[in-house]
Structure 1
Amino acid sequence: MRNEEMFERTAKPVLDVRDRPKLGQWAFLSTQHLFAMFGSTVLVPFLTGLPISAALLASGIGTLLYILITQAKIPAYLGSSFAFITPIISGLHSHSLGDMLIALFMSGLMYVIIGIAIKLSGTNWLMRLLPPVVVGPVIMVIGLSLAPTAVNMAMYENSSDMKGYNLSYLIVALVTLIVTVIVQGFFKGFLSLIPVLIGIITGYVVAAFMGIVNFSTIAHAKWLQLPDIYLPFKDYQPSFHLGLILVMVPIVFVTVSEHIGHQMVINKIVGKNFFKDPGLDKSIIGDGVSTMVASVIGGPPSTTYGENIGVLAITKIYSIYVIGGAAVIAIILGFVGKFTALISSIPTPVMGGVSILLFGIIASSGLRMLVESEIDFAQNRNLVIASVILVVGIGNLMLNLKPIGVNLQIEGMALAALAGIILNLILPKQST
């Protein structure tokens, strides 16, 4: 009975997975999903320096590939992953673009390998490798390690060097944050799912009145133009850097855990066992292929989006056509020069304001996982694992083997994840 209840629909659908909406409604319904994913998806390239149009293209193409690989059975939208922000920023600072994009490609390949392993042997090995006591603290590290980035964007004209403290910047950031919090906490229905978008729009308007927005790039941009993407051998020379790959690959295990959590929620909302049909393996492989394609054109890795799952729950519209329509609109926007120039003109304090909330929510999500999983920190084993992960990750501990002639460097979040996995495997479990 418990398994049946797990996949019992929360409500009768307005449109089921294979239902096609009326032509007059289709664009509107798809635009809702576009709004839900938009703020977070463009924030990642904004922070990392990757092209915004590449992120939009990667989001749209990746979602269509995901729909194809999952046989058009899972209504999930894929957007830019926050988990890779810090590694991308630090990687681009010390490595070539070719090194970085190949490392991201390999992280997508790791998704595919995990999907194949799940197909062959089930999920028990993955759950043993990544229990909540490991994944929760790593997710906290992802959010907390990004905290200085958000705060610096909110205060400084040059956030990377922490120079040029600007009170106007802080005011814009606080207005953006307050509006986002109000929408998140007090608004109902669909508006409660797009607090980031509403916060960004409000912050942008306030920044424009304060003279912080530079409109010149929008004026000079063309309406239709080829998207700003990076192509291999033309814009960058692909190169294989083992150390950078070893930074990216451990993060995949955490995002795969997040992916499984999202699928469990979608199963409950839609009332179908997507773990069985089309299979969790296909879902994870679809996410991996999406990430691989994104890396080829210079976009950030992808992940299923909780914001769009929220849209499914509120609207009761599960149609794969609606999800696909949102992906097509995202691709089209990548070719609209005025639009990408508008996004590029968003001042850093606006993004800093929403980032304070978003990065905090990431950290809190890790804490929530620990609480919901009832992790007992009276047990020294759990205390040790979480403590080491947090300090290694937030402190950005580095393992650099170059002094002994090995070209390998692992640091921060990746090293924290590896440490957590190893400690979980070797430390004896305490009897209860």
Structure 2
Amino acid sequence: MSSESKDPGITNLAQSILENTKEVARYLQTSGIALPTFSPTAEALPTTPDFQKLQARLRTQLEDLQLLVEGPPRFYRYFLTRGYDLGVFQTALDFGFFTLVPPEGDIALKELASQAGLDPDRTGRMMRLLITQRFFQENRPGFFAHNSFSIALQRDEDMRSMVHMSFDEMLKACAEAGAAIKANPFKTDGVHCPFYARFGVPVYDYFEKYPENSGRFAKAMAGWRKMANATAELTDNYPWANIEGTVVDIGGGSGHVSMEMAQLFPHLKFAVQDCDESVLAEGQQLLSDDIRDRISFTKTNFFEPQRFLGASVYLLRQCTCNWVDHDIVTIFKSVVPGLESSDPNTPLLINDMIIPEPGSEVERLWERERRQVDITMLMLFGAKQRTVAEFKTLLKEADTRYVIRKVHEQGALGLLEVYLDRGDGVNNIAS
């Protein structure tokens, strides 16, 4: 439940926005970072937790002020036309506008249209709508250049892949939400969800059926990590420096998280497991020489008993959100042989978004981001994000010896430290 419930009025909001804007500016100046502009050479903003809190507070107030100033009729007028904006954005990605516009200088409309394989009329109309949304710029008539928002996608293939996948596959599935839920109002899983209604196959079968999109999916997951700064909870809240051996990255996809952690913790080895051979192959191509001998890739199904025995850590990162409860129980059961073969202090780390418990007093945007991702899981997998209590119930159903020792839930993703109680009292501390 959002902690913002009072109506401050527009003048009080405006004054608070001014003060918080000054605080953001002071933070950036103190950090030696130039104030943001729309210039393509603008510096990247920091991703520290302190700055993200400032951002969230200011964004919440800006949103409230905009809603109050617009009023319901004007708000709905713009809200209902966002689908057309998204259609133009997707077309720009499909036809390569973000990469065809040069990183420096500009490109003539006719040349852009020619390279895109599209007629100049529609090219110009779509580009000019994007410009009103603060993507690209037209500093002289008929010539287009990047601004800070468009060039971010030009420069970063991972981020561009995340955005493109969201338009090309995920939003198309969302368009089937009403019909799919009406068809199955009391059942939800990978074949009773909007994605299946749109494409006729579950998500993971889709990428096997269309392997040309599988590589983009792997890059998209890396892009999501960059957007959300989503490894901080994992890297900062567990004593990685104090352990030795191998971290088993269960369902690790292309291994982009293991690669980042291998850079941070050069004394550790990582075993990436996934059932998609094309994604694993994508990961092997991304290995740099300094970590190549410390990361292995194995085709493994995490519904089957864990075959890597004697690990230092078993990691399930952003896997639980993709499956319904009975599947999660099976996944948790499959890890037990690995934990039983390892030191009693070996954890199962569950690194996934944690939904706040009903009635919790939390920031509105913080809660919204989590509930947006929860609905994403509903649309794509018929699955969900979970509260700590829900995780605890599923763990106990899988094996009564599972205990949660620590919970970290305030960052982009949460982190649960889960242990197997061997009866010696070592891990008999449930949260």
Q: TM-score range by the shorter chain?
A: under 0.3
Higher RCO (C-alpha 8 Å, min separation 6): 1
Q: Which has the larger radius of gyration?
A: 2
Structure (1/2) with the larger helix percentage: 1
TM-score by length of 1: 0.23
TM-score by length of 2: 0.23
Structure (1/2) with the larger strand percentage: 2
